[in-house]
Amino acid sequence: MKQHLLAATVSLLALTGTAFAMDDVVIAFAGTEDLQNDAEYVFIHAFAESLAERGVNVVVHPSDSMGGESDRFDQTAQGLIAMNLGNAGALKKASEFASVLFLPFLTRDDAEFDRVVAESGALDRVNEEATRLGIRVAGFAMRGGTLGLFNTQKAVTALDDVVDMRLRAQGGDQLTVFSAWGARPTVVSWAETPNALQTGVAVGHFNPPSTVVAAGQVELLDYFTPLDAGPVPKVIMLSDDWYSFLTAEEQGWVDAAVAHGVAANREWALEQAPYFEQAIQDGGIEITPLIDGERDKFVAATQSVWDQIVPQEDLDFIAGYLD
């Protein structure tokens, strides 16, 4: 008999109308079902393969078809969907502590990020807070590559080159960081970023090459400066109610599927980083490395405002695990 990830009694299922009553494991995310370019789908595909071995079916809703970041977060918290692949900003709604993990220049790459999270027990801290809102963080899916600076204006090879540069900021944290660099940041939604680049409202933004390729922005940008400012983790969020009502055996299936998906994602991210760098160059973006010693200046300027972004106690918690 086909086995389903169902938990709770028939009467509870009838009363709740949540994801428990569905035969399928429902996953929602913002990206597309593209195994070459979409990091989140690489994870989802491998996750689904693992559950399929247990006879469990996974239904995937891509391209924000279940709503935007906030909508998907709320539906996951309510148990209407089992898993959501969300961004760091969405997670911060559930866990104040989580913000420390996404500080620019905290870690250099995927491997260091994974080590710090594992050794520090940071996920336990995150979930102490997040489960109160119905969210359980199972791990992270990496975008591939590391954060750098894209722009339409000039080659950036030193910190002084960004002085007065109008950079698109995702939110308050990036406003603080970019201001510390001497830039003139402005908050622009990701959906409006192409228009902002075309009209000069912003001349650049802070992302890895993989994001620019996936977003179709290669033709809009002219320069990329690698900063190795950290990876871009997408958050693997489970409905805590859904997960908690599973049997111990079923939870084991989900945990194993998450581990399988994360392993596939990390292998993909490592292999694809050179591909994305080549893709932006082929599209006409010039890669302009920093002059020796200039990365240290970016690091120092950024670290000088870390305590304006996260509480000092959270910095102290993670500091002992950093290189």
pTM over cut 0.85 = yes
Q: Which domains does the chain have, with CATH numbers?
A: 10-144+232-273 (3.40.190.170), 148-230+276-319 (3.40.190.170)
pLDDT in 10s for each residue of the chain, 323 residues: 334 443 332 323 333 344 433 368 999 999 999 999 899 999 999 999 999 999 999 999 999 999 999 999 999 999 999 999 999 888 988 999 999 999 999 999 999 999 999 999 999 999 999 999 999 999 999 998 999 999 999 999 999 999 999 999 998 899 999 999 999 999 999 889 999 999 999 999 999 999 999 899 999 999 999 999 999 999 999 999 999 999 999 999 999 999 999 999 999 999 999 999 999 999 999 999 999 999 999 999 999 999 999 999 999 999 999 98
CB distance 173 to 89 below 8 Å: no
Q: For residue 124, with 0-12 CB atoms within 10 Å meaning exposed, 13-18 middle and 19 or more buried, which class applies?
A: exposed
CA distance linking residue 79 with residue 242, whole number of Å: 6
Residue 322 has a pLDDT of 92
Strand segments (E) across the chain: 25-29, 58-61, 83-86, 135-142, 148-151, 168-169, 186-187, 204-207, 223-226, 233-239, 286-287
pLDDT for the residue 171: 87
The pLDDT value recorded for residue 65 is 95
Question: Given this model, what pLDDT does residue 23 score?
Answer: 62
